[in-house]
Structure 1
Amino acid sequence: MTDDRPTDPSARKPRVALMGEFSAGKSTLANLLLGQNSSPVQVTATQLPPVWYQLGTPGARRIGQDGSATPLPADDWSAVSPKDTRMIQAQLDADILQACDLIDLPGTSDPNMAPDFWDAFLPKVDLAIWCTPANQAWRQSEAALWEQVPPQLWTKSLLLITRIDKMQAERDRARVFARVRAEAGALFRDVLPISLTGALAGRDNDDVLEATGAAALVRFLCHALEGLEPPAPVETPRATAPTPPASRSRPAAPSAGSGTEPRIVPRRITRSKSQGARSRPEHRHA
């Protein structure tokens, strides 16, 4: 598999992959971060190829398995088949894409993916957000696949418990959160709960973003993107999120240049440090 980087390698940004099993909320998370209501991919989860978002004039193209590029309409990608598509490259004028590229990956057990897909694709990723739904949080199949991910991603990546609002009782939400953190905390930089649909519906309201867990996600991303090392040169070819237990502290959000915390998800994820000033996050031991 060739390196399908959509940007000049001398100026490439960190790449954040959205991962998880089918119907875990990856595409809703992408829409939230990108500031859009829905994706042009109006198809079932098993039909989704990887979608690589980068900053630019709005447009998209399909990259075939043979490396060929075909323009796509802006509002309908339903005709794209993963059988002959390596990925969709999409450009958007979204603020988060000034700080990083977003890659919405297929469900981890997608039968349409080639056997070597993950081995070939994951080395391109700098940070992952793994989505796990609260009602089936952190299943054995998820743990087995994540343990095969390059270990250098573990200390940079986030485990996001989605659909936390579907659990009506605060006690149930807290129990799920505590169990997932105990079982998977050592394999991620952090674990956070979120109501994606609630955050998407109220993304212009600071109180809603805080209550749904979206504001905590912003703080994580700001901190994590600041901490990433510069990439090596590449040669050419309530009924919302529960309050986390006090036993584990969160990293403080870095300055985005204005001295204030990020306000809303898609518009305040920035990297303020110079490339040379970034350092690798310390490895967290279990």
Structure 2
Amino acid sequence: MSEKDKECLRDWTCSRTQCPRMRFHIFDFVLVKINKCRYVVWSTDMAYIALLSKHNVTICNRKLDVLCSLHENTRVKSGAWDDSGVFIYTTSNHIKYTLSNGDHGIIRALDLPIYITRVKGSQVFCLDRECKPRVLTVDPTEYKFKLALINHKYEEVLYMVRNSRLVGQSIISYLQQKGYPEVALHFVKDDKTRFALALECGNIEIALEAAKSLNDKACWDQLAQAALWQGNHQVLKASNQLSLAYLTAATHGMTEEAEQLKEQIGDEKKIPQVDPNAKFLKPPPPIQQAESNWPLLTVSRGAR
């Protein structure tokens, strides 16, 4: 034992004798099993850790609880955390991202492999195979949008919806899978898709607009069921088809109304034939006719 070590031991012994209530710091050790881990990358705030192996990326928290694990067919080369807590990593031919909940995707393709050293905003600082520093510009909109959605930052989500180019079936499918059909409505122009999304999130007004454009019997039936479930009898009445209304008016001798409906239908092929043997079925008179809606259910429509 060196003289310095002996002196430290004497100081420790004296302090222990003088102060019997010494404080000992005990640290817990945690383990996580990763097959052939090559690199470890901590986030800036030390809240998350990325463990990189040959074909896998594993994200853990500081207690080494596994949050998600991704498998890649090509080799994982490098990775770094950006300031928002998204892990950006590279394979042999792509720059990719993963969120702590397991949502992942491709940012851009690569001609040659690179090794990331830092990510800041839309810039990726890296080294190529010749160890030359490079700066690549990427579009972080997709993963920032998903991150804002997960963190319930709806003002940021709405801003990105209005000002970004997040269009495509993949983002629509993602929003549906995550339970945000009201947000997906902002990305859809197709009436059939808008109708399905509007029904899913309970937005009867948008569903009614789409149903008028489609003018499909199945859509009107679905809209009627949704309006009935919400207690919206005004939309329920508006969901009747013109051909059925024409047939009813013609059968009951309402010639003027039938002609008006016939003009609205327009296409002669869609005008149904009136059955000469049809009989008038008179329903019992209502005790009291309601002019306003029944008490409506509270349905979240999302941000407009």
Please give the TM-score of this superposition, normalised by the length of structure 1. 0.23
- The structure that is helix-richer by fraction is 2
Using CA pairs under 8 Å that are at least 6 residues apart, name the structure with larger relative contact order, 1 or 2: 1
Bigger-Rg structure (1/2): 2
Please give the TM-score of this superposition, normalised by the length of structure 2. 0.22
